[in-house]
Amino acid sequence: MTSIMKTLWNKQQEIDFFTKSLKVATPEQLFYVSEDGRYYAYWPKSYGGEKETLQSRNAFIGSFTEMWCKDLFEEIAQGMNGYIVEKVVCDEIGLSTKSPADLAVCKTRNKIQEAKNILLIIEVKMSVVWNWELKRAGSKQNLACLGDYRTHSGNPGLLRSDTMLKAIGKSINIRVSSYKASQIPIIVVGNTPITDSYYEKVDHLKKSGVIQGFWSVNPKPLDNNAETIKNTPHHGFYRFDSLGELKDEAIRLLKEEREFFSSMQTKKALGRMIEIANQENTYEKKAQKFLELIRNSQGENP
């Protein structure tokens, strides 16, 4: 991998993944094996034989895509005088050694970070998107693309409900761990669209400040230029079609000062807080005062 990626995710990235992984793993660890001895990345929808599950590939594709994303965001991090760091631990905001941030843009290179030095948290939820067959002839082997995700029985990346739920759950855990997480944006990076059942959910998560976006870095996940969703109405999901588009949005997100807050208050209590905060003389001070009042309140009993 080069330090600056020339393209977003495409078929070549998946060829690179299998080519590199086959140097350290067996074909059986990376492919499903059919009854007639063929090696498939996913079971074709037309396959009628007995099927088994394949878990061993997950660790390989997880490691590959995290490093690929690290390279992808390296230049963006440098542009903000930061560093892209993998497996970041920050106990203050619920990032433990067992559940670290996949990647983060930080002010230092350290894997163990203080919340104040974390500029952006990136969760990587990427997988093999297309179906591939490994064809072997003696000592030679090559990969043939059999079709996009419409042709196989897998649900790659953000199309899997459990993948979405894991990303949402981890982000919520970060948000509720400490107010120190309130200024750190969180994005989930994938290489597929999302299902329509999540359109409203991701927009609500963005509007409520829990997750700043589910970002797909695969411009053309379907063959023959077939259309996929570009973005949801409020951009909770967004598909990037160029490196420039990704860079601009990431830098905009890093430069903006936002604050996550969540509270259940009576209208009377909220009105009192607004009245007190309104006595400050700038919008920034009004906002800061309101946040302090929200966070110091215990909520009113009924």
What are the tens digits of pLDDT across the range 76-109? 999 889 999 999 999 999 999 999 999 999 999 9
* Cβ atoms of residues 211 and 135 within 8 Å: no
In our burial notation (b when 16+ CB lie closer than 10 A, e otherwise), range 33-59 reads ebeeebbbbbbbeebeeeeeebeebee
What is residue 302's predicted lDDT score, i.e. its pLDDT? Answer: 37
- Interval 57-61 mean pLDDT: 96
Higher pLDDT, residue 219 or 177: 219
The predicted-structure confidence for 129-175, as pLDDT tens digits, reads as follows 999 999 988 788 999 999 999 999 999 999 999 999 999 999 999 99
Contact 216, 237 (CB under 8 A): yes
Tokens, residue 242: 């160029």
In this model, does residue 49 exceed pLDDT 90?
no
Categorise residue 224: left if φ over 0, alpha if ψ from -120 to 50, beta otherwise.
Answer: left
- What pLDDT was estimated at residue 3? 42
- Give the pLDDT band of residue 298 (cuts 50, 70, 90): low
Q: Where are the alpha helices (DSSP H) in 120-236?
A: 161-177, 199-207
pLDDT for position 89? 98
Average pLDDT, the chain: 90
Q: What percent of the chain has pLDDT over 90?
A: 72
pLDDT for the residue 111: 97
Confidence grade of residue 294 (pLDDT, cut at 50, 70, 90): low
Q: Is the dihedral of CA 25, 42, 132, 148 positive or negative?
A: negative
User: What's the CA gap between 252 and 71, in Å, rounded?
Assistant: 19
